[in-house]
Structure 1
Amino acid sequence: MLEVCVDTIDGVMAAMQGGAGRVELCSSLSEGGLTPSAGLMRAAADLPIPCYAMIRPRGGLFGFSEAEARVMLADIAMVHEAGLAGVVLGAQAEDGGLNMPLLRRMLAAATGLGTTLHRVIDVVPAPLLALGQAIDLGFDRVLTSGAEPFAQDGAELITQMVTQAAGRISIMPGCGLTAANVAAVMARTGVQEVHAACNVPVPGGAAFSDFDPPGGRYQTSESQVRAMVSQIPG
């Protein structure tokens, strides 16, 4: 199945209408995805597609302060209140590995929700060690590009992850996947679900400030979602 990351309510609807099986709900995909607003969570929860909220309070890597941890715990509470299906989490310790105590706190707060460990696994020193920790923590899945900029280039590590997981956790490749390459990556790695943005550029308009970026913004494309879904083996 295909999970589509979106940062607007129109994006949720485009993903759903294009045949996606799940949505990763964010704000600021230009920053790699941040926590969505309460309003977006509530609006998405009213639609008939499972939505997982990204829990990430700022851009940059994933070493969070205690104050940021409290923000993330409050955001997880908002996910419960809104009625979304799950959360997408990740945190690093000072040594760069997974911050196990903080992840345990967040997972406890997320009891009853689906859980994905995000691409923090691509920046830790030992991804396979982190995968074992994610299994021990009880995550449902791991989103990964195989510690490469694009998942198609990280297919070897993704295959190793699938072997190590042995069905205990789902390995979900993401970043760089398109209708042109998704079938080949799935066949090579043996994964059952994939993740993509499926977005297209929208030309920018004249603005006196940085309201509209010079290259325009991106929006989820229903046709791109449908094309990618059509290439995923049934």
Structure 2
Amino acid sequence: MANIEIASFNRRAALIAQENGADRIEFCAGMEVGGITPNIEDVIALRKELDIDLNVMVRPRGGDFVYSEDEFDQMKRALIRMKQQDVNGFVFGILNKDNSVNMEQNRALVELASPLPCTFHRAFDDVVDMDVALEDVISCGFTTILTSGCEPNVMDGIANLKHLVQRAEGRIVIMPGGGLRSTNVEEVLRETAAVYFHSSAITDGGNTAVAQEVKELKEKVS
């Protein structure tokens, strides 16, 4: 049996996900840029409404994953504030200009988040060498990598996802995400043997999870 994390860009989406079987919420703002740090007031309100785990995105802006010192300080401040709100984990990822993993900055945030777990998000899909990046992310102390297998979506990256799961050898969770839907999750599960899956469950062109899609995702990995 595998688990489902739903990326939620508003409180309504998160509540729909919870009501329809999601195991965890990745909460963020800015769907149009792939997710950024949400408003602290929204996190506080949502925490009161959720019984399932709530992971929060820490990303100061859209675009690339190379951040200035000012942006990095902004990430640290946001993480500290969110940590005080009884969240269950954090989602972030920082690269160097050559698209290698920024060990120093990622380690600093992981340590700041401790003892809460951290997911290295789809910045992973921009790395040059996924095997080297896998070891670097593990070394930084992350517990999960969200990835489409360094391809545009999970179906294109399915072979790489299988490779990453095998190479990780249980040291870190490889969580397929990016174009994951109820129509393909069974194939991704079968081919990769992953134990956690990530989807926005948006199938109607909107910005909110669709209840039936969440139900079907959960049913198909259970």
- Contact map agreement 2:107 2:141 (CA 8 A) in 1: no
Mapped partners of 1:51, 1:139: distance in 2 = 16
The equivalent of 1:2 in structure 2 is 4
Tell me the distance in 2 between the aligned counterparts of 1:194 and 1:159. 13
Q: Does 1:71 align with 2:74?
A: yes
Q: Per-residue CA shift, 1:167-199, capped at 9, x if unaligned?
A: 010000001111111011111011011000101
Displacement of 1:35 in angstroms is 0.5
State the identity %.
32
Query: What does 1:1-234 correspond to in 2, within 5 Å?
Result: 1-46=3-48, 47-201=50-204, 217-232=206-221, 234=222
Larger radius of gyration: 1
Task: After superposition, give the CA deviation of every residue in 1:46-92 in whole Å (9 maximum; x if it has no partner).
Answer: 21010111110001010000000000001101111111100001001
Distance 1:231 1:200 in 2: 16
Displacement, 1:30? 1.6
**How far apart, CA to CA, are the structure 2 residues paired with 1:13 and 1:218?**
13
Secondary structure at the aligned position of 1:185 is classed as helix
Helix, strand or coil at the partner of 1:184: helix
TM-score, normalisation: structure 2: 0.96
CA distance in 1, matches of 2:4, 2:200: 10
Once the two structures are TM-superposed, the CA of residue 200 in structure 1 deviates from its matched residue by 3.8
User: When the two structures are aligned, how many residues end up with a matched partner?
Assistant: 219
Residues 8, 200 of structure 2: 8 Å contact kept: yes
In structure 1, how many angstroms separate the alpha carbons of the residues matched to 2:114 and 2:210?
33
| Equivalent-residue separation in structure 1 for 2:67 and 2:8 (angstroms) | 24
Structure 1, unmatched stretches of 5+, are 203-216
Name the SS of the counterpart of 1:44 in structure 2. helix
CA contact (8 A) 2:9 2:207 kept: no
Residues of 2 paired with 1:218 and 1:80: CA distance?
Answer: 26
Alpha carbon RMSD of aligned pairs, Å?
Answer: 1.1
Which structure would you say has the larger RCO, counting Cα contacts within 8 Å and 6 or more residues apart? 2
Distance 1:17 1:168 in 2: 31
CA offsets 1:133-192 (integer angstroms, 9 cap, x no match): 111111111000001111111011111111111001000000111111101111101101
In the alignment, is the contact (CA less than 8 A) between 1:200 and 1:218 conserved in 2?
Answer: no
Q: How far apart are residue 201 of structure 1 and its match?
A: 3.7
- Alpha-carbon distance in 1 for matches of 2:140, 2:193: 23
**Is the CA contact (8 Å cut-off) linking 2:147 and 2:177 kept in structure 1?**
yes
Mark the runs of 5 or more structure 2 residues left unpaired by the alignment.
none
Partners of 1:71 and 1:41 in 2: how far apart?
17
Secondary structure, aligned partner of 1:199: coil
Q: Is the 8 A contact 1:5 1:24 kept in 2?
A: yes
